[in-house]
Structure 1
Amino acid sequence: MTYVTVRDARIRYHETGDREAPPVVLLHGIGRSLEDWSEQHDRLSGDHRVISLDMPGFGLSQRLKESTTLACLAGGVWATLDALGETRPVHLMGNSLGGAVSMQMLVDDPGRVSTLTLVNSAGFGKEVTFALRMLAIPGVGRRLLGRIDDYTAPRIERNLFAERAMVTPERIAMAIKVARQPDFAPVYLEIARALGGFRGIAPRWRSELLPRVARHEKPTLLVWGDRDRILPVAHLAAAREAFPKADWHLFPGTGHMPQIERPDDFAGLVRPRLAQFSSGTLDR
């Protein structure tokens, strides 16, 4: 893993594939890291430049100076791509919060987006796991985030997957490492409270963002796991209503992260779309 300096912050990223190939950008969810996309790098980099990153203030990246909002994160990702010399239109793939950030990126700079793949994405309903709603209670959120350890981290990881075997020692260790970063708790709380509260995900930003995304009519793929405990599968119906021209796929027996839990099937789903909508694909 390597770092690049963006607006005086060290941003961690991982890159695979030919730098001249069409670019794919992979974005993780709230409190997470680029490891959530590790299974897709080898599967997608044969024909693409694949970039995953720890969004500002998450993973092992430093935060930006301003308060963490959806617009702040979107701008931070665009600035990171600029720092990496990637100014071509990109294929955006976002999981959970990363899906909402991807949609904000599209609205902010539609000419730089080729396609949109939203994976169990935030933005399509107020329902969210009770653990996230608890963070909105004054004083409670910081205490909970400060107690991610060998006991609590496995329980958090288990909520992300349908299959318990996905909760590996490596994933638990990474979750604890991320939680011990100085920017973790304040950034987590800032974006969680910006997007919702104890009653769930706030409607205002969703009702403003989704129509603006839909107007651009970018090729869009909606992906969900039918056993998601974080953002329920009912949100897929709302996503299809918001984007009626989008393609969609539901993974059975799968939790919040199909890209990890069904890596081969996920890659098999998205690769033909990447090829279909890529320009400048290298001759092989």
Structure 2
Amino acid sequence: MRGTRIRFHETGDPQAPPVLLLHGIGRSLEDWLPQHELLGDYRVISMDMPGFGLSQRMPETTTLPVLADGVWATLDALGETRPVHLMGNSLGGAVSMEMLSSAPERVSTLTLVNSAGFGKEVTMALRMLAVPGLGRQMLRRIDRWTAPRVERNLFAERAMVTPERIAMAIKIARQPDFAPVYLEVARALGGFRGVGAAWRADLLQRVSAHVKPTMIIWGDRDMILPCAHLAAARAAFPHARSHMFARTGHMPQIERPKEFADLVRPVLAEVSV
């Protein structure tokens, strides 16, 4: 993709309507793997966004528009130019909204999962990344001792913190683009006092001009972006369906995979591609 190596995973019938799955900050396509099988009658595409997971970064400083542009370019490289069903978790939700704003004709539906963009409150760990020098030091310390603690913050069920997830987190943290891209995005979107207000207001204003079938999902035990943000998300998308999962953390799509797929299917069915 424009000279940048992007890791992706694709399943299903290439002729079926496309579903695109986007992960959160510092994460990878593994956060969506169960949905590939559960949404198997669609063309399901997940990817490591530029600079995250095992993908290379874009040459410019990483921002929401740069990530959105990189995702669109990856779809173009895969030959997928039809309107897509966008699903984004955390940062991936904000990127999905940016994609909708920049190319509404290429979006069929929007599913936001514990999405960034609806409040200033965010875990202290992300706020500390804005402290000069401290952020890079923190990111360099993701190892077999610290990675389990990071993973535990993502889930309500401790059983979700598997050796495989811990190993993947360490592998990602060792990628050369990991720390620089993580810090660029974290600082572009907020600081020590929390998620910035200006970009959130601008993005939601731009997205409001493009009404699409929308589902908003949250976990009630999210320790990264609190579930209270769901009220702001409902206000920003008054036409949307919404659901709060009980006893669920930051990633309902893998902590409650079957229930998640059952929720989003009616929204996908509203649009025939």
> Are 2:157 and 1:163 equivalent residues in the alignment?
yes
Give the counterpart of 1:252 among 246, 255, 260. 246
In the TM superposition, residue 17 of structure 1 has moved relative to its aligned partner by 0.2
How far, CA to CA, are the matches of 2:260 and 2:241 in structure 1?
14
In the TM superposition, residue 214 of structure 1 has moved relative to its aligned partner by 1.6
Tell me which residue corresponds to 1:73: 67
Tell me which residue corresponds to 2:19: 24
In the TM superposition, residue 275 of structure 1 has moved relative to its aligned partner by 2.2
How far, CA to CA, are the matches of 2:20 and 2:237 in structure 1?
21
Give the counterpart of 2:7 among 2, 6, 12. 12
Match runs of 1:121-200 below 5 Å:
121-200=115-194
Contact 2:213 2:270 in 1 (8 A): no
Matched residue type, 2:8: Y
Give the match's secondary structure for 2:66: helix
> Are 2:32 and 1:37 equivalent residues in the alignment?
yes
Give the match's secondary structure for 2:26: coil
Matched residue type, 1:266: F
In the TM superposition, residue 271 of structure 1 has moved relative to its aligned partner by 1.6
| RMSD of equivalent CA atoms | 0.6
* TM-score after normalising by structure 2: 0.99
Give the match's secondary structure for 2:115: coil
Matched residue type, 1:20: Q
Q: Which runs of 5+ in 1 are unaligned?
A: 1-5, 280-284
Q: Which runs of 5+ in 2 are unaligned?
A: none
Tell me which residue corresponds to 1:282: none
Matched residue type, 2:24: G
Aligned length: 273
How far, CA to CA, are the matches of 1:155 and 1:41 in structure 2?
27
Tell me which residue corresponds to 1:115: 109
Q: State the Cα deviation string for residues 7-27 of structure 1 (Å, max 9, x = none).
A: 211000000000000000000
How far, CA to CA, are the matches of 1:242 and 1:228 in structure 2?
20
Give the match's secondary structure for 1:249: strand
Match runs of 1:169-248 below 5 Å:
169-248=163-242
How far, CA to CA, are the matches of 2:265 and 2:36 in structure 1?
12
How far, CA to CA, are the matches of 2:39 and 2:27 in structure 1?
21
Matched residue type, 2:34: E
Q: State the Cα deviation string for residues 31-78 of structure 1 (Å, max 9, x = none).
A: 000000001000002x21000000000000000100000000000000
How far, CA to CA, are the matches of 1:188 and 1:278 in structure 2?
36
How far, CA to CA, are the matches of 1:49 and 1:266 in structure 2?
17
> Are 2:271 and 1:262 equivalent residues in the alignment?
no
Match runs of 1:97-116 below 5 Å:
97-116=91-110
Contact 2:54 2:172 in 1 (8 A): yes
Q: Which moved more, 1:126-135 or 1:208-217?
A: 208-217
Match runs of 1:44-83 below 5 Å:
44-45=39-40, 47-83=41-77
Give the match's secondary structure for 1:250: strand
How far, CA to CA, are the matches of 1:237 and 1:18 in structure 2?
36
Moved over 6 A (4+): none
Give the share of equivalent positions with the same residue, in percent: 76
How far, CA to CA, are the matches of 1:275 and 1:219 in structure 2?
10
In the TM superposition, residue 173 of structure 1 has moved relative to its aligned partner by 0.2
Matched residue type, 1:22: P
How far, CA to CA, are the matches of 1:170 and 1:193 in structure 2?
29
In the TM superposition, residue 211 of structure 1 has moved relative to its aligned partner by 1.6
